Amino acid sequence: MKISLLFQIIILWLFSIFTLNAAAPVLKITKCTKNPIVDGHLNDLAWKDAAIFDNFKTLQPDYGLPPSEKTIAYLTYNEESLFFAIHCFDREPEKIKATVSARDQGNGDDWVAFCIDSDNDELASFFFMSNPLGIQADGTLDAAANPDIQLDMVWESAGRRTHDGYIVEMEIPLRNLRFPQKDSLVMGFKVARFISRKSEEVDYPEYLPSRGAALSQFQKISLSNIKGTKIFELIPSYTMARTDHHHKGQLTPGNWVSNFGITSKIGLTSGITLDATYNPDFSQVETDAGQIDVNLRAALFYPERRPFFQEGQEWLGFSARPDGTYLREIVNTRSIVDPILGLKVSGKLGRKNLISSLYAIDEFPRSEAADLSNKNAHFSVFRYARLLGEDSYLGFFGTAWHLENKHNYLSGLDGRIRTGKQSRVEFHGFRSYSKEENLFSSGQAMGGSWHIDSRKWNFRLGLFDISKDFDTKLGYYTRRGLFTVPVFMARNFFFKHKNILRLSPYYWSRHSLDHYSKRWESFNVLGLELALSRQTQLSISTWIANEIFADQIFSRNAIRMELGTQPLNWLRLDFGWRRGRGILYDIAQASSGRETEFGIGMRLQPTSKFTSEFRLSHAHFYKKNRSDKLYNINILRNISIMQFNKYLFFRSIIEYNTFHKHLSGNILLSFTWIPGTVIHLGYGSQFEKREWNETVYVPSEKFLNTQKAWFFKASYRWQK
């Protein structure tokens, strides 16, 4: 009897999970008889018969309030494209922020976004964004509507300032989207507008945390008789480069080296795409900003910037990794240093099955023995997910890495289950296997977390364990051999004030059992976050913490402050500061000390076409007193961009590291017609404080030009 009752309760609970939202009303969109001209004017006949949306509500600074400015959006389509327009009214149009820049830059501008869940799976969405001048940004949203701008698509946009605000028009070819072949399709869509100076975002339809997952609240629309095409595109490229190196007191000229490469995208079905690249070149990619690389316990993490590996990153993540956990990535494509070949297959099989796979051959593996530096490493990834409704899914991960007689494998499961409109459970469990010659090891990483998000409260609770022998050559983790309990709780107070928007006191903690020493460590943060107008965020916190290192326990008590603000349209300021107890991460002479870190950033935009950004990063460590300094490091960086128009820009980057006494600079002239059709011309140079004494290089007070590099790249994106 008890078993029967328990069984009924479980069935009712599961039923409630997968029927959280009643079927949303579907709006039939009218097809246009004549295509509108994308020019920033709303005088085309197509807009008179288009669907109109004007019932916008705020998402920021608070949910569901009437917007401060009026917004009207329009939507229509034909067999091959979606057409979207939006009129953003503003009673102070001279205060609208708009910059002429390359795509995907942002710059704190006002913007509008059109989001489309073409599969209607409520798990991912494409978005197409424009500032008031028609400058594009695009990418994908995850189930929580977090944006990822790594995907670049080909579409049209035009923006124009008006006496009462601005107008943006878009044409989005359907070949950019994935959807099943049917006579009639239901998709989800959303429109968003951001008013920079007010830190205000307004959306249609209205989003409320009490209604469940973000994408499940999209407006459902119906389209009929549209053409789904299997995409086919080729991007051949040609690169010519030369590098000069300083050798035995002389700057020795290098040889000009030419390389041909090709990248392709082939639609295998309407839902599955094959991406391939051979001999890719990423010379034009912006160099990584310098980070403090002294006294590190874990390797630094750098974001992926290379276009081929950026696309599709949203499904290479895994569930249950709240802030404070040590396993951060199962697939970190930055571990692929210099690929010769890359292959990706991704998309959906039917409505509920998602796959994503990657294979790459790496010519110069990172962090391996010198005798293997001329060997090739092989990377393989397979990802599968079964979609369960709303943002719930069950998934599988498998990765493999091979280099000569070294092997590393990982496999496991992850998932997310929505347990209520404001709550969800996430979990993962992975097993790793490593082999080098006759040595074999295996380990596991597993954990789960419970999330509650409402208007007033945010709560996280988790249990995680990563064993001492767990390893992943493709992923990224900061520590292993720990059982961890992370906790987060925040209370949000909203204010009806034009300048003071939100106040959020919070508590974050991480309590860990170190498997090596069999002792507990604890990290507790009490903080206060304040949101103001002009995109201003202020956070102040205190750390009450300790950390185990080299079988000793050290204090990590500290005070931290972060501030970011845009007080004027042409000025952005950022500041971060932390001071407190630190650890000298040296096994042989581990000790406690006092450390200070701070960073100051300033972005200047004196005109709509010129931006210059300055950044200073500083860190110092004193072992006992101010006379016992172990290190003092400053990194100064400047990026300046002159955007002549939306196609052509000139960029310079200068960076100096006082600790390594290293100065670098590079310039790039870049023309981009559409993503993939580009011409780049670049030069870079490096200087170090050293000199040649006829035998070896020794430290010096003068800079020596140790390297010069030139490159030229051209590519063309051909689509069928």
pLDDT tens track for 453-499? 999 999 999 999 999 999 999 999 999 999 999 999 999 999 988 88
Which two structure tokens, joined as six digits, stand for 291? Answer: 């980070």
Q: Which amino acid is at 39?
A: D
Residue 279's alpha-carbon distances to 360, 362, 716, in angstroms, are 11, 10, 15
Lowest mean pLDDT among 60-64, 435-439, 669-673: 435-439
pLDDT(17) > 50? no
Mean pLDDT of the 580-599 span? 93
Q: Report the candidate in 220, 228, 224, 426 with the shortest Cα–Cα distance to residue 322.
A: 426
194: helix, strand or coil: strand
Q: Report the candidate in 219, 229, 240, 200 with the shortest Cα–Cα distance to residue 535.
A: 200
With left for phi above 0 and alpha for psi between -120 and 50, is residue 258 left, alpha or beta? beta
Which two structure tokens, joined as six digits, stand for 167? Answer: 């107008």
Which two structure tokens, joined as six digits, stand for 638? Answer: 């400047």
More reliable by pLDDT, 416 or 150: 416
Which two structure tokens, joined as six digits, stand for 157? Answer: 């946009």
309: helix, strand or coil: helix
Q: CA-based Rg of the chain, rounded to a whole angstrom?
A: 27
pLDDT(23) > 60? no
Question: What pLDDT sits at residue 538?
Answer: 97
pLDDT(5) > 60? no
Q: Report the candidate in 712, 640, 716 with the shortest Cα–Cα distance to residue 283.
A: 712
User: Whole-angstrom Cα distance, residue 63 to residue 208?
Assistant: 6
DSSP symbol at 184: E
User: Could you tell me if 671 and 646 are in contact, meaning their C-beta atoms sit under 8 angstroms apart?
Assistant: no
Question: What pLDDT sits at residue 148?
Answer: 82
Is residue 422 packed enough to be buried (19+ CB in 10 Å), middle (13-18) or exposed (0-12)? buried
Q: What is the mean pLDDT of the chain?
A: 90
Question: What pLDDT sits at residue 16?
Answer: 44
Question: What pLDDT sits at residue 454?
Answer: 94
User: Could you tell me if 454 and 422 are in contact, meaning their C-beta atoms sit under 8 angstroms apart?
Assistant: yes
More reliable by pLDDT, 464 or 289: 464
Highest mean pLDDT pick, 242-251, 330-339, 384-393, 459-468: 459-468
Question: What pLDDT sits at residue 364?
Answer: 64
User: Whole-angstrom Cα distance, residue 414 to residue 392?
Assistant: 11
pLDDT(7) > 80? no
Question: What pLDDT sits at residue 486?
Answer: 96
The neighbour count for residue 406, using CB atoms within 10 Å, is: 19
- pLDDT level of residue 373 (50, 70, 90 thresholds): low
Question: What pLDDT sits at residue 10?
Answer: 42
pTM as predicted: 0.86
Question: What pLDDT sits at residue 372?
Answer: 52
Element (H, E) at 259: strand 257-267
Question: What pLDDT sits at residue 444?
Answer: 97
- pLDDT level of residue 229 (50, 70, 90 thresholds): confident
pLDDT(18) > 50? no
Q: Report the candidate in 396, 395, 398, 429 with the shortest Cα–Cα distance to residue 411.
A: 398
User: Could you tell me if 156 and 170 are in contact, meaning their C-beta atoms sit under 8 angstroms apart?
Assistant: yes
Q: Model confidence over 178-194: pLDDT tens digits?
A: 887 788 899 999 999 99
Residue 428's alpha-carbon distances to 82, 444, 463, in angstroms, are 38, 10, 11
User: Whole-angstrom Cα distance, residue 71 to residue 75?
Assistant: 14
Residue 578's alpha-carbon distances to 523, 590, 628, 640, in angstroms, are 15, 21, 20, 28
User: Could you tell me if 595 and 621 are in contact, meaning their C-beta atoms sit under 8 angstroms apart?
Assistant: yes
Question: What pLDDT sits at residue 247?
Answer: 86
- pLDDT level of residue 224 (50, 70, 90 thresholds): very high
Which two structure tokens, joined as six digits, stand for 312? Answer: 């599709």
Q: List 115's β-bridge partners, or say none.
A: 127, 190
Question: What pLDDT sits at residue 191?
Answer: 97
User: Could you tell me if 119 and 178 are in contact, meaning their C-beta atoms sit under 8 angstroms apart?
Assistant: yes
Question: What pLDDT sits at residue 348?
Answer: 86
User: Whole-angstrom Cα distance, residue 526 to residue 544?
Assistant: 8
419: helix, strand or coil: strand
Element (H, E) at 9: helix 2-18
Q: Which amino acid is at 514?
A: D
User: Whole-angstrom Cα distance, residue 506 to residue 526?
Assistant: 6
Q: Report the candidate in 272, 277, 282 with the shortest Cα–Cα distance to residue 262.
A: 277
Beta-strand relationship, 272-278 and 339-349: antiparallel
pLDDT(2) > 80? no
